[in-house]
Amino acid sequence: MSVVLGVETSCDETSAAVIRGAGDEASLASLVILSQDVHRVFGGVVPEIASRAHLTAIEPVVRRALDDAGVATDEIDAVAVTNGPGLVGALLVGVSFAKALAFALGRPLVGVHHMEGHLFAAALEHPGAVPPFTALLVSGGHTMLIDVEAWGRYRLLGRTRDDAAGEAFDKVAKLLGLPYPGGPHVERLAASADAPGPRFARPMLKRNQRPGDADYYDVSFSGLKTAVLHAARSAATDAERARVARAFQDALIDTLVEKTARAVRAFGRTRVVLGGGVAGNRTLVAGMRDRLAPGGVTVYAPGARLATDNAAMIARAGLFHFERGERAGLDLNAFATLDLPGLLVA
């Protein structure tokens, strides 16, 4: 039984969390997420503003997480911190803070890959969301289809060739005149559509694709975005814009569901775990269940709070690495891009 403090500052949420547990029996003791609303006025995250906001928020956010959990600093067994991928200036704040805390407490520091954190998020809410499973990670910066044989043993099957799924939502939101971050707004607008709208081509979905083809698992959303751009220009009414949002979301979801179904079939998995901000999209989760449940596959998705960036998932992934005896030195660095640890080749 260990107590792990998690710290996450890779983008525009300053977050800290405490978890207690051992192995897959881990429970959330507290989670604080401070979203930096300041970026809304710029329509996207401004890196230097994000770093500075982390700098002022990190101490009170961590203190609040410890208070909420009723955990004293000397009860912390390890400090887990996101050290990539992400905005380097933003990551440096969390990494430096976590180092200082670990050093002061004389406790180990564990570096966590942000996307591995997303893989663990659903497990915090659903005891069944544990390996082996097929994972679809859909965030603002990444789209990855991964076969998870065990925690720490990841086979990267597919990724996006251009825009990440969340990025596509954000860009389409902008085209439709919706605020940033756009995902939830596009989902809401799509739900209000009175008809399916124009049928956009399904990117990277062709019947003749075979396992082993480079495009069997990969996705691409830039063509879809261009199609939306043209449709949005000629959409004059709110009803028309709603149909465009729905058509976009339908095409994107169809693609993600089909690629995930291919991976489930190829590896004979009976569980699918979704992660990342776009996993908070109820239409995506429902589409995944409609397609896979009849074949006996259970689809797990974190709730909206754990789907988007948060430190609970970082603490949970950190617990796994801590229990394996992994320790980061006080020279731990931050990285804008970083390979997922435990990637299996071929």
The binder of ligand KG4 chosen from 263, 278, 338, 340 (CB under 6 A): 278
> Which residue has the closest beta carbon to Zn ion?
139
Q: Which of 314, 289, 258 is nearest to 121 (CA)?
A: 314
Partner that binds at residue 187, options ligand KG4, Zn ion, none, CB closer than 5 to 8 Å by kind:
ligand KG4
Least Cβ distance, residue 101 to ligand KG4 (angstroms): 23
* Binding piece for Zn ion, criterion CB under 5 A, among 195-203, 222-230, 246-254, 308-316: 308-316
Decide: is 85 part of the binding site for ligand KG4 (CB under 6 A): no
What is the spatial distance between Cα 93 and Cα 316, in angstroms, rounded to a whole number? 20
117, 140, 197, 198: which one binds ligand KG4 (CB under 6 A): 140
CB 109 within 8 A of CB 328: yes
The answer to the question of residue 163 lying near ligand KG4 (CB under 6 A) is no
- Binding flag, residue 139, ligand KG4 (CB under 6 A): yes
- Asked, as a colleague might, if the bond just before 85 is cis with ω within 30 of 0, I would say yes
- CA within 13 Å, CB half, 74: 0
Q: Is 181 an interacting residue with respect to ligand KG4 (CB under 6 A)?
A: yes
Which of 195, 201, 255, 252 shows the shortest CA–CA distance to 227? Answer: 201
The nearest distance, CB 325 to ligand KG4, in angstroms, is 28
Nearer to ligand KG4, 66 or 87 (CB): 87
Rg value, the chain, Cα: 20
Interaction of residue 36 with Zn ion, rule CB under 5 A: no
DSSP code per residue over 201-261: --TT--TT--TTSTTTT-B--HHHHHHHHHHHHH--SHHHHHHHHHHHHHHHHHHHHHHHH
With binding defined as CB under 6 A, does residue 318 bind ligand KG4? no
CA distances from 292 to 257, 261, 267 (A): 9, 7, 14
Using CB under 6 A as the binding rule, whether residue 117 contacts ligand KG4 is answered as: no
d(CA 71, CA 69): 5
The residue from 131, 141, 287, 302 that contacts ligand KG4 (CB under 6 A) is 141
Q: Report if residue 170 touches ligand KG4, rule: CB under 6 A.
A: yes
Binding of residue 309 to Zn ion (CB under 5 A): yes
From the CB of 214, what's the least distance to Zn ion, in Å? 26
Interaction of residue 182 with ligand KG4, rule CB under 6 A: yes
Token digits of residue 3: 């107590």
Does 277 interact with ligand KG4 (rule: CB under 6 A)? yes
The residues, any chain, with a CB within 8 Å of residue 149's CB and separated by 6 or more, are: 131, 132, 155, 344
Minimum separation from the CB atom of position 274 to Zn ion (A)? 13
Considering only the stretches 70-78, 204-212, 214-222, 275-283, report the one whose residues sit in contact with ligand KG4 under the rule CB under 6 A. 275-283
Instruction: Select from 30, 36, 134, 139 the one that contacts Zn ion (CB under 5 A).
Output: 139
What end-to-end distance do the CA atoms of the chain give, in Å?
36
Helix (H) or strand (E) holding 150: strand 143-150
If binding is defined by CB under 6 A, does position 280 make contact with ligand KG4? yes
Q: Is 12 in the site for Zn ion (CB under 5 A)?
A: no
As given in the structure block, the two tokens for residue 148 are 């998870």
Asked if residue 309 binds ligand KG4 (CB under 6 A), the reply is: yes
- Provide the minimum distance between the beta carbon of 9 and Zn ion in the complex, in angstroms, as a whole number: 12
Round to whole Å and give the CA distance between 240 and 246: 10
Which member of 276, 287, 302, 318 binds ligand KG4 (CB under 6 A)? 276
H-helix or E-strand containing 93? helix 88-105
Binding stretches for ligand KG4 (CB under 6 A)? 11, 139-141, 166-167, 169-170, 181-184, 187, 276-278, 280-281, 308-309
Question: Interface with Zn ion by CB under 5 A: which residues?
Answer: 139, 309
